[in-house]
Each structure stands twice: as C-alpha cells, then as structure tokens.
Amino acid sequence: MRSQLPRFRYHPDPLSTGAFQKTDEPRICECCGKETEYVYENPFFSEDEVECLCPWCISDGTAAEKFDGEFQDPESCDEVDDEDKTDELICRTPGYIGWQQEYWLAHCGDYCAFVGYVGMKELEEMGLSDSLEDIYRKDVSMFDIEDVRKYLENEGSMQGYLFKCLVCGKYLLYADCD
C-alpha cells in the first residue's frame, strides 16, 4: 500500500478537511482494485454508486474517467479561462461537503485552494474577521455581512468555506445555510 498521499493543488490538506478518512482496515478501491488505507468521503457525482475511491485514482483522473463522474459541479464554480484548470478541479480534485450546493471560488484567473470549514471563531483565530468585508463573497453566498458576523459557525446552521488564492494568497469566504 502507498503511504504518502498525492498532492492536490486545489485541496492541499484533504485529511484535515475530512475529504479522506484513514481506515483501521484496508479497503479495496473500486477503481484500481488495490488496497487503500485512505478512503474518499466527499461528493462524487456519477450514475454509479461508488463506495470506495483511493486518493491516487482521484489524483490521476482514472476515477472520474472510469465512472464518468465529477468531484465538483462545473456549474457551481467561478469561471476561469483555462480548460485544463477546470478539468483538474472537476476530475482530479477531492471536493468538499456543503449544506446546499458546494461552490468553488476562483481569484487571479485560477481556482483557489480549499482551506477548510470555518465559522467566525476560526476566522478570528486566523486574524481574518476584521477583513470579512474584503474576503466574503456575497455575490455567490447571498447573505448580508451582518448575518454572517452573527450566525457563521463551524458545523452550525450557517457554515463557512474558506479558500485561498494560489496566485496572490488572498483568502476568500463562501457561506451557505441548512
């Protein structure tokens, strides 16, 4: 079994975000047929009911190709002008779990990296709460900034999803509600 996870440009720490779970007992990846200790736990949009995918089959695109699936809805992403970047995000990047519809943010002409799930507490701890007006994407989230300040709670009814621009390093925030 492989021990080091592949690198995902747009989801750099998929273990800490829960996209992959390390299992106690190895399982068989339905794509490659190999044993894996890491199992994908987030959305995979396919007509097939796929229960177990390993990180390597996601990273190299074989899972998306074999099951004609996507890890992110292409209609729920900011637009970028590079088709290869969109293909990498949709077919070779683990997604994240949202309350309603996951939305992937872009900045500086490229998709951002998904940092993780946040509430105001986490934003304060990161020193980002004072710049909320600058990082919050109301155009896709649709909540007033005052409501975000009041109700955004990690694992709460209003959930925040933090992204970071890979070009300039700016943080961006998307939020949705149950």
Annotated domain spans of the chain? 1-97, 98-177
Which stretch of DSSP H or E encloses residue 145? helix 145-151
CA–CA gap between residue 93 and residue 168 (Å, rounded):
21
| pLDDT tens-digit map of 26-41 | 999 999 999 999 999 9
Residue with tokens 């004609």: 68
The answer, yes or no, to whether residue 114 has pLDDT greater than 80, is yes
Do the bridges between strand 158-164 and strand 171-177 make them parallel or antiparallel, or are there none, so unpaired?
A: antiparallel
Backbone phi, psi, residue 42, to 5°: -110, 180
Are 112 and 104 a contacting pair, CB within 8 Å?
A: yes
- Tell me the per-residue pLDDT of 32-75, one tens digit each, with 9 for 90 and over: 999 999 999 999 999 999 999 999 999 999 999 999 999 999 99
Q: pLDDT higher for 142 or 135? A: 135
CA distance 108 to 114: 15
Per-residue model confidence (pLDDT) at position 1: 55
Gap between the Cα atoms of 152 and 158, Å rounded: 5
What is the model's pLDDT at position 4?
83
Tokens of 31: 């794509």
Determine the Cα angle at 98 with ends 22 and 81, to 5°.
Answer: 100
Q: What is the pTM of this model?
A: 0.95
Q: Which H or E run contains 90? A: helix 83-92
| Whole-number percent of the chain with pLDDT over 70 | 98
Q: Name the token pair of 118.
A: 């946040």
What residues contact 83, with CB distance under 8 A and at least 6 apart? Answer: none
Phi first, then psi, for residue 140 (nearest 5°) are -110, -20
Q: Across all residues in the chain, what is the average pLDDT?
A: 96
**In this predicted structure, what is the pLDDT of residue 101?**
87
Q: What is the pLDDT of residues 146-166, one digit of tens each?
A: 999 999 999 999 999 999 999
> Which residue in the block uniquely carries the two structure tokens 């070009």?
167
Give pLDDT, residue 3. Answer: 65
| pLDDT number for residue 129 | 95
Which residues face 136 on adjacent strands?
173
